[in-house]
Structure 1
Amino acid sequence: MPTLAPITAAVPPVRPAPLDRLPGSAADDPFHRIAAAWLLSYGGHTQTAYRRDLHAWATWCEHMGVHPLAAERFHVDAWVRHLSSQPQPRTGRPASAATIARRLSALSRFYDYGIHDAEVLTYSPVASVRRPRVSDESQAVGLTADELRRLLTTAAEHSPRSAALVALLTFCGLRISEALGADVRDYGHDHGHRVLKITRKGGKSARVPLPAPVIRALDDYLAERTSGPIFLAASGDGRYPYISAKQQLDRLCRAAGLPAGVTPHSLRHSYATENLRLGAALQDVQDAMGHADPRTTRRYDRSRHNLDRSPNYLLASSLTSGDGEHD
């Protein structure tokens, strides 16, 4: 998990009494203490992502010679301009609008916590910052049905573990963190369905019904195992790490001749687009993917701008189909 950047700039005045209630001691920087308290309410990948965002912000403030708790709006605006125009360390290219919007959202939540919950701060430099407009189309590389079949075949030929993981991601639309976080005890039955209990983003649990290809792949991979993580590390001891799973998926995609840029999220993207193309109800796909907002699911509907689907035609057909019948 990334650690927060060290801070050398002078600490601005903060409310001392509320600060004393937060984790840490008087020797610790208030920014770190507020961050530690705020991050306690998040877990897993969400906490890791937020910690990374705070680290990036603190690093930028250090570059600007200002303490993060003394930063003003123009410091945030300058950071946004830097993110959108300069290659970023992790990717080698400028941050996308979606990434910048997410970082600003995290920063806004952090300062709001410091003001309203911790009651240590009195001002948020993010309060009036303009958020970049995020496209309503998913930016992930999507795969066609034929490309998904090729990937499934390549994974099955590689190993039982690869076959099981790719089947789960393809047929169930799971986030890779949801799949890797599941244990053998989470694989069971519910009202006649074989299901996998997973932990969603934000810590919510869900039971995912498993279609026959996934059940066969999991049974073949698990064999007689009855405990421990479903997906084991190469050594057979411990959970399969995300970075190893991501690298293995990259190799499978190359072997299957898939386009460049495919990520684990591409399979989740393809799960949604293919289901919506096949006529699955938007609400059912939304529930299956664990989206709180249907607008998130609609971003994956490639054909939603198809004029043939306009309700204008449906209503016109209904109101005019009986012309002359009641004369």
Structure 2
Amino acid sequence: MTQGANFFDLSALNADNLEQRTVDQLADGFRDLKALKHPETADRYRAEAGYFFAFMRRFGADPAACTQPHVLRYLDYLASPTHPEHPGDCWDECRHLPYAPSSRQHRLDVLRSFYEYAIANGLPMPANPCTGLSVPVPAVDAVDHLTEWEVHDLWDGAREHSHREGALVALLLGCGMRKEEARLVRIENLGKNAFGPTLKFWRVKRRFWQTINLPAPSAAAIHRQAGDLTAGPLLTSPRWTVTEAGIREKAHLTDAGIDDILKRLAKRTNVRPTDIYSHLGRKTSITMARTIPGLAMETTMTFYGHATLKDHQKYDAFARDTFKDPIYNPAQGREFWRLAT
């Protein structure tokens, strides 16, 4: 709280003094304004503006006198690979170049909102330098190169908030994301909205939520890839899978079916189903291989649990003691146990 003689110095509240605020002070005010409605994103918006300020000052420009060519140069910079010949010391953002088109569009949207706020609060600029600018972002058709089964893998992964190594990386690369960034993405299934089935991607390293409409796979294509053209329609939410020889067949597993599998697993391993729950976390995805003529029988139980290192270590030890031959991949945030049959 202002105290003493400064409390009665109302000249500090005049518009003339407000116009003297630096662009960094305006950015702080922009963050505070955003924090009123979206506190979880306010600091990120301030950081996005700070990256642009650092870029401008680094290469000899004043962010308070920004023009449209400056913004265009910044967007081109974000789309370019890392430049080792940059003068001076690179700040942290340089190590993550280039950025995906959707990421560059997000940066542009943040700058547009900031300069709109700054001009309204005394920044002496004739116009918003971001007006009329946009970044071409690949359409959702970029997922067309995925097979129906890769789409299924994506949906199954989205249900569990898990990392996907193959199909998800292919999808995100098709959307313009770098491979090393795509491996660190978390996905969430938003269900069906006005635009159709939607996945939501969370990009780590100070990235942002991005949504994409992903078409659900058709039953006809599933039967074609399973080599069964005469079969009737499959049930929804397929969970049975056989991967040998590129053949996959899926059918629905109900909660009762999952309970039955756990009971048979408990009988085989002498571990009570309740103990499996307590050790492995959520019973949200259990995948069992199914016998196909000409293919070897293989049973795979997939449990999705928590993603902390402590939980991983606990689950891994439990699997090693119980199933003897665990397949464990901490980078993907889930555990696999392959049971001999």
Q: TM-score range by the shorter chain?
A: 0.3 to 0.5
Taking structure 2 as the reference length, the TM-score comes to: 0.39
Look at both structures and tell me which one has the larger radius of gyration over its CA atoms.
2
TM-score by length of 1: 0.41
Structure with the larger strand share: 2
Q: Which has the higher contact order (CA 8 A, sep 6+)?
A: 1
